[in-house]
Structure 1
Amino acid sequence: MRIYLFIAAIAGGVTYLITPLIRHIAIEIGAVGEVRARDVHTIPTPRLGGLGMLIGFTVSMLFASRIPFIQGLFAQSQQAWVILAGAVMISLLGMADDLWDLDWMLKLAGQLLISVFVAWGGLQIISLPLGSLVTASPSLSMAITAFLVVASINAVNFVDGLDGLSSGIVAIGGIAFAIYSYIIARNSPSYASMATLIDIAMVGMCVGFLLHNWHPAKLFMGDSGSMLLGYLITCASIVMTGRLDPASIHASIYLPVFMPILLPILVLFLPILDMCLAIVRRLRKGQSPMHPDRMHLHHRMLRIGHSVQGAVLILWGWAALIAFGSIMTLFFKAQHVLIGFLIAAVVLTVATMHPYLKHRIPEILEEDAADASRHAALRSSKYGKK
C-alpha cells in the first residue's frame, strides 16, 4: 500500500507543480475560455489544465515502471503502455477542442478511434455476466469496450461545469476502485495490480489539480482534462473486472458486487445520469445531443440557491454515497449498509433541497396568508351586503 501512496504523491506533486506553468502557456497561446451564456464563471479563464494532469499521470507511471514491486506489470504485457498512449491521444484530442472548438461529430469520431485502438491493444472486456460468466467474442469485446470508454469520456465531459466538480467526482470513484482492486489483488500471488496503479495515479493527479481548480479556479482542465479522466477511470475498471476468468472460483464471489458492465455506471452514476438527461432533453427539443444548455445537474443546484462550493460539495457527497455504498458490502452486512445508505441519502436530500425550501416555505406561507385575507375580505363584503 505504501508503494501506491508514493505513486499517488508523485502524480499529485507533479500535477500541482506543473499546473502554474501550463496556465502561463495557456495564456500565452490564447487558450483562454471566453465567458459563454451557459458558463458559471464570469471572467475569461485559461484552459488546458488537462495537459498538467497528463504530465502528472505520465511521470507517475514511468516511476512505477521502475519500482520492483510494480515493474512486473509493465514487463508481463504492453497493456500499461497502450493505456498510456491512449491517454496521450485523448488529451491531445481534448487540447485541439480547447484551442479550436472542434465539431462534436469530429470529436466523437476521434474518441471512437482512440477507444478502438486501446481495445485492439489489449484493453478489453473478455467475459460477460450473462447468467454466469460467458466469454465474449473478440469483435463483441472490442465493441463493448469502445462503447464504455466513449460513454464515460462524454459523461465526465458533460458534468465538468463547476470548479472542482469533475476532478472531485472522479477522485472519489478512483478511491472506491482502488480499494476494490486492491482487495482482489490480495487474493493473487502478487499484490501488484494494474487497476490499482491507474486508480491511484489518477486520484493523485486529480488532487494535485484540484488545489488550483477550487473555486474561484485559476485554471480549467478543459476537454483535455475531462476526457482524460473519463478515459482513465474506465480503463481502470475494465482492467479490474473485464478479465474475470469464467472458470475461476473467485468469479462467483466478486461478480455479484461489481459486474464488468455496471461497475463504471455505479461509480460514474452522477455524470452518466446527467449525460442521459441532457441527451433526452435535447432530442425532445429537436436539438443535437451535444447542443449546450444550462440545464445540467450543477446548473439546477445553482438555480435553487446553492453557492458554487456548496453545490460541488453536495454533488461530491452523492457521488461518494453511490460509489462507496457498493464497496461497503465487502466489509459489512448488506442490511447494515442499506440502513446507512438510506440515512445518508436522507441527509443529502435535505442538504440538496435546503436552499429551495428555505426560500420557498416562507413564500408558501405568505401565499396562504394572502389567500386567507382575500377569503376573509370576500366573506366580510358578502355579509356586509346582506
Structure 2
Amino acid sequence: MRVYLLLMLVAAAVTFLTTPAARWVAMRTSAISAVRARDVHSVPTPRAGGLAIMLGIVVAVLLASRMPFLEGVFEDRQVFGIVGGALIVCALGWADDIWDLDWLTKLAGQVLAAGFMALNQVQLVTLPTPGGLTIPSSRLSLIATVLVVVIAMNAVNFVDGLDGLAAGIIAIGGTAFFLYTYRLTAEDTPDNYASLAALMMAVLVGVCVGFLPHNFFPSRIFMGDSGSMVLGLVMAGAAITVTGNIKPDVMTGAAAIPALFPLLLPVAVIMLPLTDMAMAVVRRLAAGKSPMAPDRLHLHHRMLALGHSHRRAVLILYVWTAVFAFGAAALVEWDWRIVMSCTAAAVLLAIVVTMGPLRNRGRFLDDDAALEQAGHGSAMAGRPAAPRPRAGAGLGPHAPQNNEESHA
C-alpha cells in the first residue's frame, strides 16, 4: 500500500507543479476557451490542463518501473499500451483544444488509441462472470475493447462541464476502484500485491487530486479534451486488465458477486458520466439532431437550473459519485443486504441535499463569494450580472466549459 500511496503523491505533485506550465503553453498556442453565450466561465480560460495530467502519469509510471516491488507489472506490454494510448489521445485532445477538430477526426483518433492498447495486450478477452465467459473470436474481442475504451473516454468528456467536476468524479470513483483492485490482488496473490490496475488507479487518483486546486471554481485552467479523454482511457484500461486476472473461485458463497466487479465497479465509478451521455444521445436523436449537437440539458445544467451555485452543484455531484462507487465497492467486504440498506439511506440523503433547502441558502458555497475571494472582481467588472436560475424555471445562463459542447 505504501508504494501505491507514494506513486499517488508523486503523480499529484508533478501535476500540481506543472499545471502552471501547461497554462503557459495553452496561452502561447491559443488553446483557450472563448466566452460564448452558453458557457459557464466569464473570462477566456486556457484549456490544456491535460498536458500536466499526462506528465504526472508518465513520471509516476517511470518511477514505478524502477521499483522492485512492481517489476512484475512491467514484464509484459500492458502498461506501455495504456500509457501509449493515453499519449495518443492527449495529443489528439491538445490538437482539438487548439483547432476544434470535427467529431469524426476525434473518433478516428480514439479508435486508434484503443487499437494501440489492444495490440499491446490490453484487450477484453473474457467477461468476469461466475464461471467465466470467453469472447469467442479475436475480432469480437478487439471490437469489444475499442467500444469500451471509446465509451469511457466520451463519458468523461461529456461530464466535464463545470469547474472541477470531471477531475473530482474520477478522483472519488478512482479511489473506490483502487481499493477494490488492491483487495482483489491481496486475495488472488497474498505474497505479491503488485497489480497493474492498482498502479494505474493510484496514479489516476493522484493526477486528479493534483489538478483540482487549479481547476476548482473559479478555475484558472480547464483540462480540455487532452485531459478528459486521458482520464477515461486510463480508467477503461485498468478495468480491462482486471478482467484477465479475476478468478471467480477465489471468492465463494455470497461473495461470488465480486466476480462481476471488474465490469460493474467501473460502471459505478462513471455512472453519472454514462447516464449523462446516454440521456444526451437519446435526447438529441429523438429531436432529429446529431448526438454531438450541443445543448443545455446536461445533468450539471439541471443542477444549476434547480438554483444551486456552481460549487454546490459540483460538490453534490461528488456526493452522488461517492454513493454509487463506494456502495458498489462495499459489496466486496460486507453482506449485500447491509450494503443495500446503507446505500439506500445514502441515496435518500443525496436526494435531500440535491432537492432540499440548500438551493436557496444565500452565500453558502456561493459563487460570488468565491470570485471575490479569488480576486476575480476586476475580471467581472463591467459585465452585466447573470440572472440567478429559479428552481423549476428552466435552465440558467450556464453551460459546459469547453469539452463536449465544443465538439459539435
Same fold (TM over 0.5): yes
Shift of 1:333: 2.0
Q: Are residues 250 and 217 of structure 1, via their aligned partners in 2, closer, same or farther at CA, if it must alter by over 3 Å?
A: same
2:53 alignment partner AA: M
Cα gap change, 1:335/1:343 in structure 2, threshold over 3 Å: closer, same or farther?
same
Q: How far off is 1:343 after superposition?
A: 1.1
Distance 1:227 1:328 in 2: 28
Question: Which residue of structure 2 aligns with residue 289 of structure 1?
Answer: 291
Residues 291-316 of structure 1: CA distance to partner in whole angstroms, max 9, x if unpaired?
11111000110111001110001000
Q: Does the C-alpha gap of structure 1 residues 227 and 96 become closer, same or farther in structure 2, counting only changes over 3 Å?
A: same
Partner in structure 1 of residue 113 of structure 2? 114
Q: Whole-Å Cα distance in 1 between the matches of residues 86 and 351 of structure 2?
A: 36
| Structure 2 counterpart of 1:151 | 151
Shift of 1:355: 5.0
For residue 335 of structure 1, report the CA deviation from its aligned partner: 1.6
**2:307 maps to amino acid:** G
Alpha-carbon distance change, 363 to 123 in structure 1, aligned in 2, over 3 angstroms: closer
Deviation track 1:67-106 (CA, whole Å, cap 9, x = no partner) reads 11012211x2011111111110010011111010010111
Higher alpha-carbon Rg: 1
Aligned to 2:396: none
Aligned residue type for 1:46 = P
The one-letter code matched in structure 2 to 1:256 is I
Once the 2 structures are TM-superposed, how far is the Cα of residue 129 of structure 1 from its aligned partner? 5.0
The structure-2 alpha-carbon separation of the partners of 1:228 and 1:157, relative to structure 1 and needing over 3 Å to count, comes to same
One-letter amino acid of the counterpart of residue 217, structure 2: H
The answer for unaligned runs of 5 or more in structure 1 is 365-386
Q: What amino acid is the match of 1:105?
A: L
**Superposition CA RMSD, Å:** 2.0
Deviates more, 1:108-117 or 1:149-158: 108-117
Contact persistence 2:38–2:296 (CA under 8 A):
yes
Contact 1:242 1:260 in 2 (8 A): no
Moved more, 195-204 or 32-41: 32-41
Change (3 A) 1:303 1:329: same
Q: For 2:143 and 2:51, how far apart are their aligned partners in 1?
A: 28
1:9 aligns with 2:9: yes
- The 1-side partners of 2:357 and 2:173 are apart by 27
Structure 1 residue 94 corresponds to structure 2 residue 96: no
**Aligned position for 1:372:** none
Q: Distance in 1 between matches of 2:274 and 2:197?
A: 21
Q: Which amino acid aligns with 2:7?
A: I
The verdict on how the C-alpha distance between 1:354 and 1:16 changes in structure 2, with shifts beyond 3 A counting, is same
8 Å CA contact 1:267–1:323 kept in 2: the answer is yes
Is the CA contact 2:265–2:325 (under 8 Å) kept in the aligned structure 1?
no
Q: Which residue of 1 aligns with 2:214?
A: 212
Q: Is the 8 A contact 2:79 2:196 kept in 1?
A: yes
2:132 aligned counterpart, secondary structure? strand
How many residue pairs match? The answer is 359
What are structure 2's unaligned runs of at least 5 residues? 362-389, 393-408
Distance in 2 of aligned mates of 1:252 and 1:195 = 23
Give the deviation of 1:264 after TM superposition.
2.4
Partner Cα separation in structure 2 for residue 18 and residue 64 of structure 1:
19
Are residues 103 and 363 of structure 1, via their aligned partners in 2, closer, same or farther at CA, if it must alter by over 3 Å? closer
Equivalent runs, 1:1-386 vs 2, <5 Å: 1-74=1-74, 76-129=75-128, 132-136=131-135, 137-187=137-187, 188=189, 189-244=191-246, 249-250=249-250, 256-257=257-258, 258-354=260-356
Secondary structure of 1:295 counterpart? coil
Deviation beyond 4 Å, 4+ runs, structure 1? 251-255, 355-359
Is the CA contact 1:306–1:355 (under 8 Å) kept in the aligned structure 2? no
| CA–CA distance in structure 1, aligned partners of residues 120 and 108 of structure 2 | 18
Which shifted more, 350-359 or 98-107? 350-359
**Contact 1:304-1:356 at 8 Å conserved across structures:** no
Q: Is the 2:128–2:246 Cα contact (8 Å) retained in structure 1?
A: no
- Say if 1:159 and 1:165, in contact at 8 Å, map to a contact too: yes
Higher helix share: 1
Whole-angstrom distance in 2 between the partners of 1:256 and 1:178: 18
